[in-house]
Amino acid sequence: MVALWGASALLVLFLAAFLPPPQYAQDPAMVHYIYQRFQVLEQGLEKCTQATRAYIQDFREFSKNISVMLGRCQTYTSEYKSAVNNLALRVERAQREIDYLEYLRESDICVETEDKTLAEKLLQEAEEEKKIRTLLNASCDNMLTSIKSLKIVKKTIDTDGSWMKDAGSDSPKVYFLIGSRNNTVWEFANMRAFMEESTKPPPRKLNLPLSWQGSGQVIYRGFLFFHNQGTLNEIIKYNLQKRTVEDRMLLPGGAGRALVYQHSPFTYIDLAVDEHGLWAIHSGPGIQGHLVLTKIESGTLGVEHSWDTPCRSQDAEASFLMCGVLYVVYSSGGQGPHRITCIYDPLDTIREENLSNLFFPRRPRSHSMIHYNPRDKQLYAWNEGNQILYRLQTKRKLPLE
């Protein structure tokens, strides 16, 4: 309607501008011309009006379509957003499930690892026990029940030293080592020659190329084993027949850093022999620590096994081994009584109740050495210059379980 009113106004203006003056109104040609022009103009205006209406209709359709599309877009956007949120929730839930499964897997792995470690430990302990039983498999089932009697074989003025027979052979020879630091060994033909100095033949003097330390020497199968003086933990294997150093080893486990016995002021490593062969006893780490027991293969000087024992170095004066069991002798300030108050059995066949009668006849001072000889089943000891033999009473140990 606005467009039509606008066209009428234009027509009025046109008529006002182009109509001839009244004096020409009576001319038919002019009137006809004007009428034709008016028809042309009116047709143009009609076409313009129709085009405008078509445009308006198209615009309305376009606007409607746009509105519908925008609505759909909003719907699609809302659906897409909802789908994205739902997907995010599913991903989050899936991640939590994955984390839980991973936790369960790690837990299973930890349990499997712990079970595996425990199984390996039990297997190792079983193999270790088997190794120990194989190592200590000699036909020896005796345990000490009492110190029956003593015999003073010889007296000297030397407060420290050691004496012994070869614990690995039936040789009657007796070896005499005076002092805690020396390199001279006296070899007597037999016990009688050792007891009576006037007996023939005289002792043979062996000068060692190295000096010993302490009183922990032993003789086993023709070899003298001793702690080399001036070294922390070196053990010397000396061939008595050839008079040569056969071999040497460094004893592990902190050996030689502290006195093995509180009341034996010069002995840092104590060697011993029993039915199972050669052993070493020394103090563990720390001051007045616990004793460490080490089994040595006498042929190669290799360490076969080592044990930390519950026996203390404090107040100890000596120790010895019998059938694989360590017996430690204690005293109070060296004034006695001298008692075995700690034993250690790697096979755990001896109980504490077996210690009640394990005491020595009263002696005024501590023993410089006490060594067991598995051949004659006696203890060889040195106490304030006296060379003593102790006779022993034994019984069978408990059977292995």
DSSP 240-289: TTTTEEEEEEE--SSTTSS-SSTT-TT-SEEEEEETTEEEEEEE-SSTT-
Sign of torsion over alpha carbons 228, 232, 234, 235: positive
Torsion of CA 75, 77, 81, 87, to 10 degrees: 90
Can you tell me the distance from the alpha carbon of 348 to that of 325, in angstroms, rounded to the nearest whole number? Answer: 9
Tell me whether residue 244 is in a domain.
Answer: yes
DSSP state, residue 228:
B
Query: 185 and 284 share a domain?
Result: yes
Can you tell me the distance from the alpha carbon of 243 to that of 240, in angstroms, rounded to the nearest whole number? Answer: 5
Give the domain CATH number at 264.
Answer: 2.120.10
Query: 328 and 264 share a domain?
Result: yes
Can you tell me the distance from the alpha carbon of 381 to that of 11, in angstroms, rounded to the nearest whole number? Answer: 155
Query: 87 and 146 share a domain?
Result: no
Tell me whether residue 258 is in a domain.
Answer: yes
Query: 298 and 164 share a domain?
Result: yes
Q: What is the pLDDT of residues 150-196, one digit of tens each?
A: 899 999 999 999 999 999 999 999 999 999 999 999 999 999 999 98
Look up tokens 């022993």; give the residue: 392
In sequence order, what are the residues at sequence separation of 6 or more whose Cβ sits closer than 8 angstroms to the Cβ of residue 205?
184, 185, 186, 187
Residues of the chain below pLDDT 70: 1-26, 76, 79-80, 84, 107-116, 119, 121-131, 133-135, 137-139, 286-288, 333-336, 352-355, 363-364, 398-401
In sequence order, what are the residues at sequence separation of 6 or more whose Cβ sits closer than 8 angstroms to the Cβ of residue 362?
336, 337, 338
Tell me whether residue 135 is in a domain.
Answer: no
Domain that holds residue 346: 141-396
Sign of torsion over alpha carbons 255, 259, 261, 267: positive
- Give the pLDDT score at 212: 97
Query: H-type helices in 182-227, by residue range?
Result: 191-195
337: preceding bond cis by omega (within 30 degrees): yes
Other CB atoms within a 10 A radius of the CB of residue 206 amount to 16
Tell me whether residue 136 is in a domain.
Answer: no
Query: 187 and 263 share a domain?
Result: yes
Query: 72 and 160 share a domain?
Result: no
- Give the pLDDT score at 5: 47
Measuring CA to CA, which residue among 321, 212, 324 is closest to residue 268?
A: 212
Query: 99 and 148 share a domain?
Result: no
Query: 181 and 43 share a domain?
Result: no
Query: 148 and 74 share a domain?
Result: no
pTM for the model stands at: 0.69
Structural domain total, the chain: 2
3-class SS of residue 61: helix
DSSP state, residue 318:
E
Query: 35 and 146 share a domain?
Result: no
Record the tokens describing residue 3, joined without a space.
């467009």
Tell me whether residue 25 is in a domain.
Answer: no
Taking each helix axis from N to C end, the angle separating 28-135 and 2-18, rounded to the nearest 10 degrees, works out to: 150
Q: What are phi and psi of 11, to 5 degrees?
A: -65, -45
Query: 102 and 152 share a domain?
Result: no
Question: Where are the extended beta strands (E) located within 100-233?
Answer: 142-155, 161-165, 174-178, 181-188, 204-213, 218-220, 223-227
Are the C-beta atoms of residues 87 and 81 closer than 8 Å to each other? no
> Can you name the residues that pair with 177 across neighbouring β-strands?
162, 185
